[in-house]
Amino acid sequence: MKNKKIILVSFIILCVLFGILYVKNEPEYIDENLYQGLLSENLIQKAVIDDEKILLKTKEGNYAIIKDGIDLKTLLAKVPVEIKKDNTLWIFFIAIVIFIILFLILAFIRKKEFSKYPISSKKTQTQTSIANLESNIKPVISSITFDDVAGVDEVKMELSELVDFLQNSKKYKEFGVKMPKGVLMVGPPGVGKTLIAKAVAGEAGVPFFYQSGSSFVEIYVGMGAKRVRELFSKAKMMAPSIIFIDEIDAVGKARGEMSNVERDSTLNQLLTQMDGFEDNNGVIVIAATNKIELMDPALLRSGRFDRRIFLSLPDFKDRLKILEIYMKGKSNNVDLSKIAKASVGFSGAGLETLVNEAAINALRRNSTLVEENDFYAVLNKVLVGKKKILTFNDEEKKIQATYQAAKALSAYYFDIGFEKFTLIEDRFKEYEKNIRSKSELINRIKVYLSGSRAMNLIYNETYTNSQNDFLKIKELLEYMINFDMIEEANLDEYKKEVDEFLSSMKEKILKLSELLLDQEKIEYKDIKLFMQI
Ligand code: ADP
């Protein structure tokens, strides 16, 4: 709306300016005496015959004189004379072009406004918005399959069960098997959450309804909930089908102090809908987030998004596969394993960009063959541009590896379940019991202390990479105070115990850190094996 006004005002201003210019350019009529004077002084540069008058161009300005009153022959002898062309057609043509351009600009702005506020309307809001809603939630038929998703083999395996359910939902129903209603995919941006959900739909050949969490809360009050209802009813109508809600944290953020009425009503509607399909009628909701800790616990409760799939940044093996997918069809002599090694910290999306940039670099060199140097030339650019998490230098990598290795060993020793540790990430097992014990919580604190204690022990130094762990410790301590498990936060005793354990493990920590640098991750089974040696 605002833009429309701006364009209209600019148009009017432009018209006025043109008008002023036109009036200013209108020549002044002169009498014959003055004309003779100009002619005899050779001041007229050019004359243009225009119907009844003659325009006279001089250095000082333009004049006009009635044609009948002058002798054309003398004029012709002294000054170049032109006959004025008929400009009216041109003016008409230019006016039409301006009109069309304005019309297109307005149409474009209108379209943008509508796509931003898909269910907004000026007149009878409720009526028209429902009509818009209807037309806005449309499924797509995905042509993506698991072959298009590189790596993440376990994820694909887990999801193939869902594919089978979508294809044979009747069989499962008859057999009384309940399938999950909701799958929550957790992982940093660009690791392929959307891609995988599309692949599930593609493999199963079912309609795919995409909605972004933020699109529910950006619209008019009350509309978010309506939109959720509409989405589910459409998906049910077309079942078996998949609903994919990207950035679900926009709706499912834990209801805190800054509660937002609109978000709450949308969230409640989402919960109602998910609880609504008791005997799952073939609609599977896949949601994606990169902040599971911010999710409202209500959404995570059983019967809703009770399946979780964690995706992390791809490891060496997966990076190589992703690079291979995107290099397919591009002539090159690149040893992709070297590039995979050099691109630690890249997501799938980052790798796709990297390949693209390398290919552009090759073209810039006027070559159609992508070479290794093309990759190195753009590696930093992509890294910095994407603000990747991992920009450690070699020294920092060594410190971080020691830090994480100590934590992994402690977790094993203090019996805190985990899947893996990488240089930048701890993947602890989700806590499944409902009742937690003081000793388990204290053991967790000890694990979070281990990294910084190991730095003291091995490098005789304290580093800032322990920041997140100390935040976790603080949270745990506050949590324990709620249950009267501790009175004051005194970590000395725990530190002492951790130090004792780590001192006996110094060599093992260093060896394990080398393994971590080499493999980029340490899994639980690695440590088990390692401790047996
Ligand atoms: P997310 O939803 O996790 O933010 P996307 O699914 O939108 O990530 O990924 C963005 C793009 O990155 C995808 O469209 C795809 O081109 C590429 N990509 C990410 N992960 C992979 C992968 N494992 N295999 C192939 N391409 C990938």
Q: Looking at residues 78-106, what average pLDDT do you find?
A: 75
190 lines ligand 1 (CB under 6 A): yes
Give the nearest ligand 1 atom to 187 CA. Answer: 3
pLDDT tens digits along 95-130: 788 778 877 877 776 655 444 433 333 333 444 444
pLDDT bin (cut points 50, 70, 90) of residue 382 is low
Q: Which residues pair with 310 in a beta bridge?
A: 186
Q: At what angle do helices 153-167 and 193-204 cross, to 10 degrees?
A: 40
Average pLDDT, the chain: 81
Q: Are 202 and 216 in contact (CB under 8 A)?
A: no
**Max Cα separation, the chain?**
118
The answer to whether residues 335 and 361 touch, using CB atoms and an 8 Å cutoff, is: no
Hey, which of 143, 317, 352 would you mutate to test ligand 1's pocket, going by the most ligand atoms within 8 Å of its Cβ?
A: 352
Nearest ligand 1 atom, CA 188: 3
Residue 20 pLDDT greater than 80, yes or no: no
- Distance from the CA of 527 to the center of ligand 1, in angstroms? 31
Tell me, using a 6 A CB cutoff, whether residue 192 lines ligand 1.
yes
Amino acid in position 93: F
Which residues are bridge partners to 428 per DSSP? 418
Banded pLDDT at 35 (limits 50, 70, 90): confident
Q: How far is the CA of 316 from the centre of ligand 1 (A)?
A: 16
Cα of 386 to ligand 1 centre, how many Å? 14
Q: What is the dihedral of CA 514, 458, 493, 504, to 10 degrees?
A: 70
Judge: domain 394-532, CATH 3.40.50.970: no
Pocket-testing residue among 191, 313, 355, ligand 1, by greatest number of atoms within 8 A of Cβ: 191
486 lines ligand 1 (CB under 6 A): no
Q: In this structure, which long-range contacts are made by residues 465-473, counting pairs with CB atoms below 8 Å and at least 24 apart in sequence?
A: 465/399, 465/400, 465/403, 466/403, 469/407, 472/444, 472/448, 473/445, 473/448, 473/449
Q: Assess whether the C-beta atom of 248 lies below 6 angstroms from ligand 1.
A: no
Q: Separation of 195 CA from ligand 1 center, angstroms?
A: 5
Torsion over CA of 366, 367, 372 and 377, rounded to 10 degrees?
Answer: 10
Q: In the numeric block, which tokens belong to residue 199?
A: 């692949």
Is the pLDDT at 384 greater than 60? The verdict is no
Q: Distance from the CA of 225 to the center of ligand 1, in angstroms? A: 29
Residues of the chain with CATH 1.10.8.60: 316-385
Task: Tell me what pLDDT residue 398 has.
Answer: 92
For the residues of 380-414, what is the DSSP string, one character each?
A: HHHHHHTT-S----HHHHHHHHHHHHHHHHHHHHT
User: What is the C-alpha to C-alpha distance for residues 114 and 132, in angstroms, rounded to an integer?
Assistant: 9
Confidence at residue 119, expressed as pLDDT on a 0 to 100 scale: 35
Domain with CATH 3.30.720.210 in the chain: 27-88
Q: For residues 475-496, give the mean pLDDT.
A: 87
Q: CB of 243 within 8 A of CB of 282?
A: no
* CB environment 228-259: b (16+ within 10 A), e (fewer): bbbbbebbbeebbbbbbbbbbbbbbbeeeeee
CATH 1.20.58.760 domain range(s) in the chain: 394-532
- Please provide residue 309's backbone torsions phi and psi, each rounded to the nearest 5 degrees: -125, 120
Q: Which amino acid is at 363?
A: L
The CATH number for 316-385, chosen from 1.10.8.60, 3.10.180.10, 1.10.3720.10, 2.40.50.140, is 1.10.8.60
Give the residue-averaged pLDDT of 358-374: 89
Q: Select from 4, 3, 24, 22 the least CA-distant residue to 14.
A: 22
Residue 93: which pLDDT band, with cuts at 50, 70 and 90?
confident
- Is pLDDT at 315 greater than 90 in this prediction? no
Which CATH entry fits the domain spanning 27-88: 1.10.3720.10, 3.30.720.210, 3.90.1150.10, 3.60.21.10?
3.30.720.210
Structure tokens at 468: 């997140």
Phi-psi region of 462 (alpha: psi -120 to 50; beta: other; left: phi over 0): beta
Burial class (CB in 10 A: 0-12, 13-18, 19+), 306: middle
pTM: 0.58
Q: How far apart are CA 337 and CA 450, in angstroms?
A: 34
Rounded CA separation 31/42 (Å) = 17
Domain 146-310 has CATH 3.30.70.100: no
> Which tens digits make up the pLDDT trace of 245-291?
998 887 766 555 445 666 677 888 888 888 876 656 788 899 998 87
Give residue 3's pLDDT: 55
Query: If you average pLDDT over residues 459-463, what whole number do you get?
Result: 92
Position 337, amino acid: S
Mean pLDDT value across residues 206-220: 80
CA of 147 to the centre of ligand 1 (A): 13
What atom in ligand 1 is closest to the CA of residue 185? 3
Residue-level pLDDT at 58: 82
- Token readout for 275 is 């609880």
**pLDDT confidence of residue 114:** 42
% of the chain with per-residue pLDDT over 90: 26
Phi, psi of 50 (to 5 degrees): -130, 100
CA 234 – CA 273 distance, rounded (Å): 12
- Domain span(s) for CATH 3.40.50.300 in the chain: 146-310
Residue of 195, 313, 352, 356 to mutate, ligand 1, most atoms within 8 A of C-beta: 195
Measuring CA to CA, which residue among 239, 248, 193, 184 is closest to residue 216?
Answer: 248
The pLDDT of residue 130: 43
